[in-house]
Amino acid sequence: MGAHHGVDESRYSQLGSDLRCIGPGQRGRQQAVISPNEVNNQLQDISIATEELYTLYRMDPITATTTIITLATFIKDLIEVGQNIQRSIEMVSENRRRIRDLTNDIVRTLVEIANLTRGKEDTFQAPALLSALGNLKQDMLYVLSACNRIAPSERPGFRGFRSQIKAWMKREDIEAEIRRLKEHVNKCHVQFTAISVARIERSTTRIEDIALDSINTHLRVEQRLIGHHVENRAMLQRVQGMMAQVLIETSYGQNVMTRTAQVISSDPSHRKLESRYFAIETMRLIESLQQLVVTGKLVLDLPQWNHAAPFSLVLFRPKPIRHILHSVLGLILEISTTSTLSVQSLLSLELGQNLRSLRMYPEAVALEGLVTQILRQAIVIGHGEGGLAELAFSFDVLSRAHEDQLQYNLAARASKQSLELWRRVSIIFPDIDNSQGHLASSLSHARHLFEAGQLVAAIAVAEEAVALTSTILKRLVVSDALWTDSDIHKAVTCRATYFLLAKSPLGGWATHRGL
């Protein structure tokens, strides 16, 4: 093997002949030919060569297994060849660290190529890639054969020793070959990386296209559902209008309404069919009103309130059940016929309080909540302070509907908004006596705070209510005129204020204040 590398054998041939000359039985002739200095030099050369031979002789031989390149096995073959190159280099003790680093980089790059192609063989079935892999394997096998030449030989004696010395002297050439191989491997890695990136981009594009198609399909389905929903709502409103028209305008409907009112009055728990029908129709009326608000078809015509006169309140007297049922059906018929409704006609019916009288508390809360929303919108668009009193009163009714459901925190929140609005009205119109609405709202808020366990806040509101009560009672006592419905409402509210203080833990505070 060593002769193929062109190594000069003269030094080792002369060394072998000189060594034979000093063997046993030839000492007299050697002494006559070689001087002592030459003998010492030759012995030193022999010692150095022996150490080198011993070092090389300790290494195991390396063999490489070659296989036919296919897409399923080429990565395994390349990694095995790279590892063989790595092991062959490590067997030379004089090899420098940079050669080991080169071989490590080659193996790592081959492993990265394997990771890129794992499970994606169909993507890399390109003739150019297969040809590049074939060239890479041939190059790696060539480098492996060159590395094998510096591996330890099994030849005995100095013949094997000479071949090892010749191979060892070629280690610089091996390093150059490995560097070239590393560049070749890097080029292949770049090719595979480019293919993988292109594949990812194509996959991303396909995913985006699929996502867009899915979104478009979802939008089409949603649009279709919305269309069906609108159509169904319109059909339902027409059916409701027809039923309301039959019940209101025909004698048969009048008889049905009379029997329905009788059943509802005898069914406080609202479990019978007639009671459930009335509750459903009321909620559908509220939904229709919400739709009018959204579409802008609700006529925001607030009642004209004379700012020079106080906002008058009277004791509420519930309407008969048949009248309430007729009011609900009448609103449904008006909406289905004209697709519009005025706020004034809605407020005049006092449906929220009438529903409370029938113990239809969820419906009352829903309706009064919608009324407060409508009044706020009306004030914002131009009615200004003229609608504040109506809004304050509506919040007071809403708070009492929450109180009926034992929702005291919600009731306190609504009554607080009502009280703040009455305070604002008193500031805006200081020359007008609005103490009646202010007192009613203060009483409601104090009661709700007491029920919610907020005693400190309840005391502060109670002081405000007591101050208003004193002023109102003085005016009632001094006046010699007959009491109107509004005066009766004032007196009843004042009495309720004192009763609240007497029955609550605030009674001791009220007694201390001399009330």
Residue environment code for 227-250, b if the CB has 16+ CB neighbours within 10 A, otherwise e: eeeeeeeeeebeebbebbbebbee
Q: What's the CA gap between 74 and 121, in Å, rounded?
A: 11
pLDDT tens digit sequence for 390-433: 888 889 989 988 998 889 999 999 999 999 998 888 888 777 77
Report the C-alpha gap between 492 and 497 in whole angstroms. 9
In this prediction, residue 440 has a pLDDT band, given cuts at 50, 70 and 90, of confident
In this predicted structure, what is the pLDDT of residue 417? Answer: 92
The answer to whether the Cα torsion of 255, 256, 259, 261 is positive or negative is: negative
pLDDT category of residue 230 using cuts at 50, 70 and 90: low
Q: What's the confidence (pLDDT) of residue 14?
A: 43
**Secondary structure (DSSP) of 111-123:** HHHHHHHTT-GGG
Beta bridge partners of 298: 341
Task: Give the rounded percent of residues in the chain with a pLDDT score beyond 90.
Answer: 3
Nearest to 399 by CA among 412, 382, 383: 412
347 Cβ contact partners less than 8 Å away, ≥ 6 residues apart: 302, 303, 371, 390
Question: Domains in the chain, ordered, with CATH?
Answer: 2-207 (no CATH), 250-512 (1.25.40)
| Most confident region among 1-5, 157-161, 309-313, 457-461 by mean pLDDT | 457-461
Q: For residue range 286-344, what is the model confidence (pLDDT) as tens digits?
A: 888 888 887 777 777 665 555 556 677 777 788 888 888 888 888 888 887 777 777 77
Specify the pLDDT at position 378.
Answer: 77
Residues in the chain: 515
Q: Which of 106-115, 157-166, 186-195, 466-475 has the lowest mean pLDDT?
A: 157-166
Q: Are 296 and 341 in contact (CB under 8 A)?
A: no
Residue 208, classed as helix, strand or coil, is helix
Which residues on neighbouring strands pair with residue 342, listed in sequence order?
299
Cα separation, 173 vs 167, whole angstroms: 10
- In this prediction, residue 32 carries a pLDDT of 37
Query: pLDDT at position 255, please?
Result: 85
The pLDDT, as a whole number, for residue 384 is 58
pLDDT of residue 56: 37
Residue 125's SS3 state is: coil
* Integer Cα distance of 412 and 173 in angstroms: 94
Angle between helices 127-148 and 74-90 (to 10 degrees): 20
Q: What is the mean pLDDT of the chain?
A: 71
Of 350 and 232, more confident: 350
Residue 408, C-beta contacts closer than 8 angstroms, at least 6 positions apart: 402, 448, 451, 452
Name the 3-class secondary structure at 274. Answer: helix
- What is the rounded distance in angstroms from the CA atom of residue 325 to the CA atom of residue 318? 13
Instruction: Considering only residues 35 and 86, tell me which one the structure prediction assigns the higher pLDDT.
Output: 86
Nearest to 144 by CA among 202, 66, 208: 66
Strand partners, 299: 342
What is d(CA 277, CA 261) in angstroms, rounded to the nearest whole number?
11
Residue 11: pLDDT over 80 = no
Please give the pLDDT value at position 159: 54
What is the mean predicted confidence (pLDDT) over 98-122? Answer: 71
Q: Over the stretch 51-106, which tens digit does the pLDDT of each residue have? A: 443 443 343 433 333 333 455 466 666 677 666 766 665 555 445 566 666 677 77
Between 3-17, 36-50, 189-203, 456-470, the lowest mean confidence (pLDDT) is in 3-17
pLDDT confidence tier of residue 31, bands split at 50, 70 and 90: very low
Half-sphere exposure for 174 (CA within 13 Å, toward CB): 28
CA distance 398 to 194: 69
Whether the pLDDT of residue 145 is over 50: the answer is yes
CB 106 within 8 A of CB 178: yes
d(CA 161, CA 153): 8
Q: 0.75 exceeded by the pTM? A: no
Which is more confidently placed, 240 or 65? 240
Q: What pLDDT is attached to residue 49?
A: 44
Query: Which pLDDT belongs to residue 506?
Result: 52
Torsion over CA of 17, 19, 20 and 24, rounded to 10 degrees?
A: 160
* Residue-level pLDDT at 227: 64
Give tens-digit pLDDT for 272-281.
Answer: 888 888 888 8
Q: What is the mean pLDDT of residues 445-467?
A: 85
